[in-house]
Amino acid sequence: MKERRSIGVATVVVAALAFSWLVSAQGLWQSFLRALFPAQPVVLMPRDTLAAFVLQHLALVGISSALTIAVGIPLGIFVTRRSGREFRGLVVAATDLGQTFPPVAVLALAMPVLGFGFWPTVMALFIYGMFPVVSGAISGIESVPKAVLEAAEGMGMSPWQVLLRVELPLAARVILSGVRTSVAINIGTATVGAAIGTGGLGVPIIGGLAVQNMAYVLEGAIPAALLAVLADAALAQVEAAVTVQEAAAG
């Protein structure tokens, strides 16, 4: 069991290294895209290097997802507490609404407040990725069997002890799968941020669509897809790590 996990972790690390090498190999992309689109005079967007686009993208996703997680999980926990139960419906409805909105609309709404650029996009992504995190936290915690909670309380655990020693460990898997979904959504949605001048892998995609240069589009789309796969695999490892005890029990 432990062995299989370290193999999994090693695979993810190797894949991450391969990915960073790939996106910094500017020459390789040049020849690859030129072979695909021989008619295009320019196949890589000159505004920045591919590595720079990837880094901008990572910054966008990293910051917004970190914020989403930092706010979403506690929010989910809060509405499952006795004191916060009355807000449960409101929070679920609000986060649900946040996701129903198209991300561009969220951007448009964020713009007047936060202006152009990086932070409005972070804001939009933060809101957009909130739903899976909050609903994952709620359903994870609510999936803990009532009998287990009654036993925990009946044995004299304080509410904090019940949360930390019983609810969170048992909910971890569901909470993390919410996080996984949210990050995957964010990586894709972050490309839209380019529309308001954020940078990231959306720049070659949107720029390529504007000037009808498919090579640019691929320059952004392929790394974005790889990044999504990579992030998902990495989070899958985290998920496996927190649920390993239960798996051993099965």
Partner 1 sequence: MIRLEDVTRRYGDKTAVDSLSLEVAEGEVCVLIGPSGCGKTTTLRMINRLIEPTSGHIFVGDRDILSMPAEELRRGLGYVIQSIGLFPHLDVAANICVVPRLLGWEKQRMAERVDELLALVGLDPAAYRHKYPRQLSGGEAQRVGVARALAADPPVLLMDEPFGAVDPLNRERLQAEFARIQRELKKTVIFVTHDIDEAIRLADKVAIMRDGKLQQFNTPEEVLNHPANKFVHDFVGADRALKRLVRVRVADVMRSPVTVLADADPISLQEAAGRRRFAYVVQPDGRLLGWLDTRSLAEGTRPAAAMTQMDVAEASVRPDDSLRDALSRMLGLGFRSIAVTDKNDVLLGEVTFAAVEDVMTEGDEHVSNQPTEAPE
Distance (Å, whole) CA 79 – CA 61:
26
- Binding string, residues 81-120; x marks residues near partner 1 by CB under 8 A: ----------------------------------------
DSSP, residue by residue, the chain? -HHHHHHHHHHHHHHHHHHHHHHH-HHHHHHHHHHH-TT-S--S-TTS-HHHHHHHHHHHHHHHHHHHHHHHHHHHHHHHSTTTGGGHHHHHHHHHHHHHS-HHHHHHHHHHHH-SSHHHHHHHHHHHTHHHHHHHHHHHHHTS-HHHHHHHHHTT--HHHIIIIIIHHHHHHHHHHHHHHHHHHHHHHGGGGGGGT--STHHHHHHHHHTT-HHHHHHHHHHHHHHHHHHHHHHHHHHHHHHHHHHHH-
Q: Which stretch binds partner 1 (CB under 8 A): 101-109, 131-139, 165-173, 186-194?
A: 165-173
Give the nearest distance from C-beta 71 to partner 1 in angstroms.
26
**Does the footprint of partner 1 cover residue 149 (CB under 8 A)?**
yes
Q: Which stretch binds partner 1 (CB under 8 A): 22-30, 86-94, 185-193, 240-248?
A: 240-248
Q: Pick from 151, 164, 209, 225: which binds partner 1 (CB under 8 A)? A: 151
**Does the footprint of partner 1 cover residue 2 (CB under 8 A)?**
no
**Does the footprint of partner 1 cover residue 161 (CB under 8 A)?**
yes
CB-CB contact of 1 with 248 (8 Å): yes
- The amino acid that residue 108 corresponds to is A
Q: Which stretch binds partner 1 (CB under 8 A): 63-71, 130-138, 156-164, 175-183?
A: 156-164
Residues between 20 and 79 that touch partner 1 (CB under 8 A) = none
Kindly determine how many residues on this chain lie close enough to bind partner 1 according to the rule CB under 8 A. 23
What is Dmax (Cα atoms) for the chain? 74
CB-CB contact of 143 with 174 (8 Å): yes
Give the nearest distance from C-beta 172 to partner 1 in angstroms.
9
Q: Pick from 35, 83, 154, 212: which binds partner 1 (CB under 8 A)? A: 154
Q: Pick from 62, 98, 117, 169: which binds partner 1 (CB under 8 A)? A: 169
Measured from the CB atom, the residue of 123 and 166 that comes closer to partner 1 is: 166
Measured from the CB atom, the residue of 47 and 165 that comes closer to partner 1 is: 165
**Does the footprint of partner 1 cover residue 147 (CB under 8 A)?**
yes
Measured from the CB atom, the residue of 105 and 247 that comes closer to partner 1 is: 247
Nearest to 163 by CA among 147, 144, 179: 144
Q: Pick from 1, 35, 210, 248: which binds partner 1 (CB under 8 A)? A: 248
Q: Which positions touch partner 1 (CB under 8 A)?
A: 145-158, 161, 166, 169-170, 245-246, 248-250
